[in-house]
Structure 1
């Protein structure tokens, strides 16, 4: 009796090893991810860096910033663009010198909710107080000449624009400060200055300049 011999053409084709295919796919995906990361790191986009401290309410002009090429990747849209700079924007918070200008830190001039006042502090302010420092303004209403009530917070959140110190005053000196304050506090601030309340400007604890 003759044994039947299977013809090679009748054998079933070998199935591909699924684990091998999966391994190849993973390797290719890894290579693609590394390539994309390298390409993204090499791609730069223009952004703007503050050349000086910009305080809330300042118009952000071409003189206040300089253009730099940086690798921002997918977050490039989160920073100030040339179109926004040309349109005209104002700072809505303090932007430190050397800081990349975030788009969220500027806004339309029409939407500004702050204004500037000049306040004379009855006492000098610390040497650390400078442009960009966040301060509180305290007021002690004058009851009668030379006699004042207990001080209270007049403006809880003001930002210093500039400081002029007067060391000639007896008793430790005084200071005149230009401040950015919320528009809602303007009436109270002007009233305190007109009724000769004793004003004091103090830095907010933990706030950087």
Structure 2
């Protein structure tokens, strides 16, 4: 009786480096490792800079609460921002408005000699102060007190100051149904302080008109 041929078992062989699947796997691992290394290197390129912790108005004195540190990735040729590698420049002054959360340009900080505004408190009617907030910009219009006498000409309203910065707004309500009084601290150009004080002392009526595009000023 003839014996049937027995199948010969094949031994498993270790994959050769010439195996296309092995080469593809190695390449995938290499690409993933390269991309991960680039991502880590990119994150390491972030630098610490100071950002405004609140709305800063030109004329504000910088204190410990003015800034907050953030780490950002800056592109080539970007605006030079105030580095947080050094302590915040407390005691210096803001020389241009910086909104809350905005990175602080190095050019926005200066010495007292760089500040050309003074803080003046004025009272204005509640209608013209509605919606104003710290950081708003307003034009200040002055209407002198009407002169007495039948032949006196009516007072003429003029714009005294353009785009004054608002530092604070405070409204107090009088007792027994008295009308509310609104006091506004303005950063006024040094050259117009005397004219504004004289207008206030002369009982002139002040009207604050928000500048379009500023905080509380509406659209442009």
TM-score by length of 2: 0.68
Partner of 1:199: 206
CA deviations over 1:9-65 (Å, ceiling 9, x no partner): xxxxxxxxxxxxxxxxxxxxxxxxxx9999556401111111111111112223111
TM-score by length of 1: 0.71
Asked if 1:150 is matched to 2:156, the reply is yes
Could you list the runs of 5+ residues in structure 2 that have no partner in the other structure?
1-36
Asked if 1:92 is matched to 2:95, the reply is yes
Secondary structure at 1:193's aligned position in 2?
helix
Over the aligned positions, Cα root-mean-square deviation in angstroms equals 3.1
Q: CA deviation at 1:168?
A: 5.3
Question: In 2, distance between residues paired with 1:108 and 1:124?
Answer: 36
Check the 8 A contact 1:55/1:94 in 2, yes or no. yes
Structure 1 residues 71-150: aligned runs within 5 Å: 71-75=73-77, 78-82=80-84, 83=86, 85-86=88-89, 88-144=91-147, 149-150=155-156
Could you list the runs of 5+ residues in structure 1 that have no partner in the other structure?
1-34
Q: CA deviation at 1:165?
A: 2.4
Task: From 50, 53, 58, give the equivalent of 2:52.
Answer: 50
Which is further off, 162-171 or 42-51?
162-171
Question: In 2, distance between residues paired with 1:167 and 1:39?
Answer: 59
Partner of 1:64: 66
Secondary structure at 2:188's aligned position in 1?
strand
The number of residues matched between the two structures is 175
Secondary structure at 1:138's aligned position in 2?
strand
Question: In 1, distance between residues paired with 2:93 and 2:38?
Answer: 36
Spell out structure 1 runs of 4+ moving beyond 4 A: 35-42, 166-174
Q: Which has the higher helix share?
A: 1
Q: CA deviation at 1:123?
A: 4.1
Question: In 2, distance between residues paired with 1:37 and 1:111?
Answer: 42
Partner of 2:193: 186
Rg comparison, structure with higher value: 2
